[in-house]
Amino acid sequence: MQVHYHPLFEHWLTELATGDDEIFGEVMALLVALEQHGRALDDETRS
């Protein structure tokens, strides 16, 4: 599945990339985890 970000979010992410490398790395790790496992995080049981 390919994920597309809202243009405003892409702008924010680009600005974040020019700042603290550690924070940017943590945000990117979170985004990758959500892309890979986000659907599995649903806490509702679906039939």
Is 45 among the domain residues? Answer: no
b/e 7-41 (16+ beta carbons within 10 angstroms → b): eeeeeeeeeeeeeeeeeeeeeeeeeeeeeeeeeee
Does this model's pTM top 0.75?
Answer: no
Q: Write out pLDDT tens, residues 10-42.
A: 999 899 889 989 998 999 898 888 888 876 766
Q: Provide the number of structural domains found in the chain.
A: 1
Domain that holds residue 21: 7-38
Is 13 among the domain residues? Answer: yes
Q: What is the pLDDT of residue 5?
A: 84
Is 2 among the domain residues? Answer: no
Residue 45 reports pLDDT greater than 60 = no
